[in-house]
């Protein structure tokens, strides 16, 4: 089955990985999206924050978490005492998946399929090798399933510091699952959902 691996260079240099990711054809999502949205942040960040996939704004700007969900994430990180400048931010899937609204004006986010998450995983594994984070914050079910497998349930483990599977060889040592910032934007009680996200993020150990 097709995946990103043949496009991923054997390198731990983020600039090389980012450049190569521009021409990935590991699944069909590159066809309709504007560009690959690779991760962003310091080369050796202790904390890697993993989202789902780029949204409409990210697709146009080429950077992760610059739209509404990203703004909310930034605010929540600050409130939890985490410096966004010190975290590496990326997505489980690096191309925007969407459908067009009826008259084609709006691009509506679609959840990536399991096959697309698996196809894109070699990029994430390369980023983990390059950045060598101690902790990965998993934002929502897609991020969690990419790293922890499809049977992992965020709802059962949100806000818990969990040991990462051995296959990662200590990079990361642990993961912290929580909800996706977009789910906070959609929540009936937004303040409550936001406070719960901040509370989870406060579990990131001091000094990381």
Under the rule (CB under 6 A), what is the footprint of ligand URA? 51-55, 58, 64-65, 67, 69-70, 91, 182
Can residue 126 be called a binding residue for ligand SF4 (CB under 6 A)? no
Cα–Cα distance for residue pair 150/164, rounded to 1 Å: 15
DSSP string, 44-57: T-SEEEEES---HH
For residue 116, the minimal CB distance to ligand SF4 (Å) is 6
Cα–Cα distance for residue pair 133/153, rounded to 1 Å: 22
Can residue 93 be called a binding residue for ligand SF4 (CB under 6 A)? yes
Q: Which does 145 bind (CB under 5 to 8 A by kind): ligand SF4, ligand URA, none?
A: none
Residue 114, strand partner residues: none
Q: Which long-range contacts (CB under 8 A, 24 or more apart) does 60-69 make?
A: 60/34, 62/34, 62/35, 62/36, 62/37, 63/37, 64/37, 64/38, 64/39, 64/40, 64/89, 64/90, 64/91, 65/89, 68/182, 68/185, 69/180, 69/181, 69/182, 69/185
Q: Which is nearer to ligand SF4, 55 or 72 (CB)?
A: 55
Lay out the site mask for ligand SF4 across 18-37 (x = CB under 6 A, - = otherwise): ---x--xxxx-xx-----x-
Can residue 41 be called a binding residue for ligand SF4 (CB under 6 A)? no
Q: Which does 29 bind (CB under 5 to 8 A by kind): ligand SF4, ligand URA, none?
A: ligand SF4
Can residue 201 be called a binding residue for ligand SF4 (CB under 6 A)? no
By the criterion CB under 6 A, which residues form the site for ligand SF4? Answer: 4, 21, 24-27, 29-30, 36, 93-95, 116, 119-120, 123
């Amino acid at each position: 089955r097709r995946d990103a691996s043949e496009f991923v260079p054997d390198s731990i240099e983020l600039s090389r990985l980012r450049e190569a990711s521009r021409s990935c054809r590991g699944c069909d999502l590159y066809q309709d999206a504007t560009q690959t949205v690779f991760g962003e942040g310091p080369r050796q960040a202790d904390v890697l924050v993993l989202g789902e996939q780029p949204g409409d704004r990210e697709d146009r700007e080429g950077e992760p978490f610059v739209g509404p969900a990203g703004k909310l994430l930034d605010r929540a990180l600050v409130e939890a005492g985490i410096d966004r400048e010190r975290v590496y931010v990326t997505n489980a899937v690096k191309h925007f998946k969407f459908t067009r609204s009826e008259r084609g004006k709006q691009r509506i986010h679609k959840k990536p399929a399991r096959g697309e998450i698996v196809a894109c995983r070699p990029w994430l594994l390369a980023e983990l090798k390059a950045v060598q984070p101690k902790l990965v914050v998993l934002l929502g079910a897609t991020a969690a399933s990419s790293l922890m497998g499809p049977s992992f349930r965020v709802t059962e483990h949100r806000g818990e510091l969990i040991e990462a599977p051995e296959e990662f060889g200590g990079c990361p040592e642990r993961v912290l699952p929580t909800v996706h910032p977009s789910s906070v934007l959609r929540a009936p009680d937004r303040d409550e959902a936001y406070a719960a996200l901040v509370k989870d993020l406060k579990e990131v150990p001091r000094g990381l």
